[in-house]
């Protein structure tokens, strides 16, 4: 059984109500329950943290290493474009991760088109 960690950044607690034209109408709670069931069905454990605070996400990445988490799935949200701290934390623990975005960041505003994480990620997944 693999230990997996799902991290969600700022404002994702508002999924389902905030800008549904970009992010859809499904709540974060619904998405998380679905992913936890998929992980369990495959014999894995998926823990989750959503935070609007950068330092809480950084601390969770640090503890993931101590807990022997084998893979991280992260939607850094707005921290994608600003957070050297998240980048440094992910690089420090050397846990493979996938960067996920609900919208296509390259089709959005210019300031959203850069990621501090993509070059470290095992892969990236983005919506339309």
Is the pLDDT assigned to residue 10 strictly greater than 80?
yes
pLDDT score for 103: 73
pLDDT of residue 114: 79
Strand spans (E) along the chain: 3-8, 45-50, 71-75, 97-101, 123-126
pLDDT digits (tens, 9 = 90+) for 21-39: 767 788 999 999 999 999 9
Whether residue 96 is predicted with pLDDT greater than 80 in this model: the reply is yes
> 27-80, pLDDT tens digit by residue?
999 999 999 999 999 999 999 999 999 999 999 999 999 999 999 999 999 999
DSSP reduced 3-state for 56: helix
Nearest to 124 by CA among 109, 107, 110, 104: 104
Catalytic residues: 23, 101
């Amino acid at each position: 059984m693999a230990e997996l960690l799902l991290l969600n950044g700022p404002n994702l607690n508002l999924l389902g109500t905030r800008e549904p034209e970009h992010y859809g109408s499904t709540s974060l709670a619904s998405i998380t329950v679905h992913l936890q069931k998929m992980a369990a069905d495959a014999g894995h454990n998926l823990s989750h943290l959503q935070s609007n605070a950068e330092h809480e996400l950084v601390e969770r990445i640090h503890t993931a290493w101590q807990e022997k988490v084998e893979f991280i799935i992260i939607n850094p949200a707005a921290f994608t474009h600003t957070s050297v701290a998240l980048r440094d934390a992910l690089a420090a623990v050397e846990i493979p991760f996938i960067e996920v975005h609900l919208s296509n960041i390259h089709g959005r505003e210019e300031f959203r088109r850069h990621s501090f994480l993509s070059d470290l990620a095992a892969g990236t997944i983005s919506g339309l």
